[in-house]
A and B are shown apart, each in its own frame.
Chain A
Amino acid sequence: MARYIVRRLLLLIPIWIGILALTFLMRVLVPGDPVEIMFFGQQRDPEVVAMIQRDLGLDRPLYEQFFIYVWGVMQGDLGTSITTQNAVWDEIKARFPYTFVLTLTSLGIAIVIGLVAGILSAVYKDSIIDAVAMIFALAGLSMPAFWLGLLLIYIFAVQLGWFPVLGEMSARGMVLPSVTLGVIASAVLARIVRSSMLEVLNEDYVRSARAKGLIERTVIVRHALKNALIPILTIIGLQFGGLLSGAFVIEVVFAWHGIGELAVIALQRRDFPLIQGVILVVATTYVLVNLIVDVLYAVVDPRITYS
């Protein structure tokens, strides 16, 4: 097991270098010379321009710039924000926990709703419960997250006054954004849970479990669900990426000061080092979460041995 995790971590290195290369290329491919942007519409002294280019390492060949970038990232140096003049890493570090907690809470909500709806609709296939659950899932799949968020704000914050309208960085302030994200993510999950449960419910071992007189709940949770978990886990891993992306929008809707909001502000101000940093951090988180999912496969299903 430990060897497997180490091997998977090693396999991650080329992917991570790829992510670094893409985020690096992002800055290179941006139209316009950064020094040009700094001096926009002003007199420029060629000597000063050369100095800035040297400072930013722009006078070196591209591959050298890339190594300098990677070296910097390894040491936690993601550059300096153009607009705030703070270190990008500090900006991200201050906000990342908020996004992470929001995403995890939403994931928890999504898993609870998704599992319950999916299992119920599989067990009571073709019943009214199944129909309602699947209509709910389809609606969740088609609902723009920002609209659902605003609806919840209108109903629960403006009308009922149960929750703060915007920007309260507290547990109470996190209820509406995490419910919004969680409900939408649960839609995909419910569909996968249903289909993989349906597949498993026809298996011989489920019939045997029933035949030996186990109560239905044990049959479903211990025997069926356990075997249906692999595709469900895969989707949960992928949904984490969906939640991280969804956080970009939802954080703006609820003025939740996480890295999603930070990225959108940076995008609007064209603050490149900041955008680059957020994209790198989010992609890295996503890859790591999927590594955890891969490891969980082996935990959930002992038949999977990684040699």
Chain B
Amino acid sequence: MSALQDEAREQSSSMRALSGQRMRSRRFDFVRAIAKTYPGKIGGVVIVLIITLAIFAPIIAPFDPYAIDPVNRLQPPSSQNFFGTDETGRDVFSRVIYGSRISLQVGLIAVSISMTLGVLFGLTAGFYGGVVDSLIMRFIDILLAFPGFLLALAIIAMLGPSLTNAMIAVGIGSAPGFARLIRSVVLSIRNTDYVMAARVIGASNFHIMRNQVLRNVLAPMIVLGTLEFPLAILIAANLSFLGLGAQPPTPEWGAMVVSARTFIRTEPWLINFPGIAIFITVLGFNLFGNAVRDALDPRLRKA
């Protein structure tokens, strides 16, 4: 018995080495497939640009994003203040640059939260089936009865308005979608031959989940994650606009638009620079997300 197990394990490890090689070359195919398309190219460039802005913000930004200068308030764009100054004399250009940090952070944390929750619930529901599955899925059905933004609002109502809570709220708000997707993938592979084979050689549930199931879940999860990323940024910006996310004086784009709103008649650029920043960032990630989806999972192309 143990000899058989050893043999099986050896075989599976050599197979894994082989498939590892194949995976590596496939991974490059995947990158090439994304870079080949225009959406992939443009989206990739935008994302790299924004990440660069976020990392080197202290070097790129000419002023401190929090520095008030009451003498030079509400100045139009000039060679000194590229995007002008806001109602307290802060440099809008510097604030927009620093805003990229917050938006990336929001996307990253929110999507991580929904992925973690989605894997936890989706994997458990799909893998164990039966009562556990029914219970989890009924709960998710109820969550899905709330439009995502409403769920986020409800969570903010409980936790109180802040940027951190907005990220948590957005993360939980889009978790049901992840759980559903992961459950459906798990269901489709639960009864495949290789999962059976793993069971036969005596692999534990945990081992099977990690090595057989999770690997198959990875591709659709990455696709959904890249598509959710810009959405998370957008929802969080909306929350901040409503005063339920980032609080002043944080240089968050949504919060900047809301405080600039009062000056729309006289200083319209104040709403436009942070607005354009959100638009370009979300557009870049959307373009990239579409390219990733097409490259990684053509079946999802319709969704």
To the question of whether A and B form a pair in one complex, the answer is yes
Closest to A198 in B: B302
Chain A residues with CB under 8 Å of B141's CB are 15, 18
- CB of B271 within 8 A of CB of A150, answer yes
What separation, in Å, do the CA atoms of A235 and B147 have in the docked complex? Answer: 13
Stretch at the interface among A41-49, A111-119, A137-145, A299-307: A137-145
- A146-B257 CB under 8 A given contacts A153-B264, A275-B157, A279-B153: yes
Task: Say which one of B59-67, B198-206, B278-286 lies at the interface with A.
Answer: B278-286
Is A252 part of the binding interface, using a Cβ–Cβ cutoff of 8 Å?
yes
Q: Does A268 contact B (CB under 8 A)?
A: yes
- B157, B265, B275: the one contacting A267 at CB < 8 Å is B157
Q: Is A286 a contact of B146 with CB atoms below 8 Å?
A: yes
Q: Are B150 and A282 in contact (CB under 8 A)?
A: yes
Question: Assuming the A-B contacts A150-B261, A150-B271, A245-B147, are A144 and B278 also in contact, with contact meaning beta carbons closer than 8 angstroms in the complex?
Answer: yes
| B275 adjacent to A150 (CB under 8 Å) | yes
Tell which of B139, B153, B257, B283 touches A150, judged by Cβ atoms closer than 8 Å.
B257
B241 on the A face (CB < 8 A): yes
Is B147 within 8 A of A144, CB to CB?
A: no
Our pick among A23, A144, A151, A196 for the contact of B238 (Cβ within 8 Å) is A144
Give the size category of B's interface with A: 35 or more
**Which residues between 212 and 248 of chain B lie within 8 Å of chain A, taking CB atoms?**
230, 234, 237-238, 241-244
Q: Given the interface contacts A144-B278, A146-B241, A263-B153, does A18 sit within 8 Å of B158 by beta carbon?
A: no
**Known pairs A26-B158, A146-B254, A150-B271; A268 contacts B264 (CB<8 A):** no
Contact present for A147 and B282 (CB under 8 Å): no
From the candidates B150, B230, B264, name the one contacting A283 in the complex (CB within 8 A).
B150
Q: Which residue of chain B has the shortest Cβ distance to A272 in the bound complex?
A: B157
Measured between beta carbons, the chain A residues less than 8 angstroms from B161 are 267-268
A145 CB contact (under 8 Å) in B143, B146, B154, B238: B238
Q: Does A213 contact B (CB under 8 A)?
A: no
Tell me the nearest residue of chain B to A18, going by C-beta: B142
Interface size, A (range):
35 or more
Contact of B271 (CB < 8 Å), options: A14, A147, A245: A147
Task: Please tell me if the beta carbons of B238 and A249 are within 8 angstroms of each other in the complex.
Answer: yes
Q: Are A154 and B254 in contact (CB under 8 A)?
A: no
Instruction: Evaluate whether A286 and B147 lie within 8 angstroms (CB atoms) in the complex, with A15-B141, A30-B158 already known.
Output: yes
For B254, give its contact among A14, A144, A272 (CB under 8 Å).
A144
Closest Cβ–Cβ distance, residue A281 to chain B (whole Å): 11
Cα–Cα distance between A97 and B134 once the two chains are bound (Å): 37
Q: Is B186 an interface residue (CB 8 A)?
A: no
Q: Which residues of B contact A275 (CB under 8 A)?
A: 153-154, 157
Beta-carbon nearest neighbor of B159 in chain A: A31
Q: Are B156 and A267 in contact (CB under 8 A)?
A: yes
Q: Which residue of A lies closest to B266 (CB)?
A: A158
A248: chain B residues at CB < 8 Å are 149-150, 153, 242
Also in contact, A147 and B275, with CB within 8 A (given A141-B286, A154-B268, A245-B150): yes
- In the bound complex, what is the Cα–Cα distance between A139 and B254 (angstroms)? 18
List the 6 shortest-distance A-B pairs measured between CB atoms, nearest first.
Answer: A18-B142, A245-B149, A241-B147, A147-B275, A142-B283, A142-B282
Can you report 6 A-B residue pairs in the complex whose CB atoms are below 8 A from each other? A15-B145, A144-B282, A267-B153, A267-B242, A275-B157, A279-B157
* Given A146-B241, A245-B147, 13 more pairs with CB closer than 8 A: A138-B287, A144-B234, A144-B238, A146-B238, A147-B278, A150-B275, A195-B301, A249-B241, A263-B153, A264-B243, A267-B244, A275-B154, A282-B147
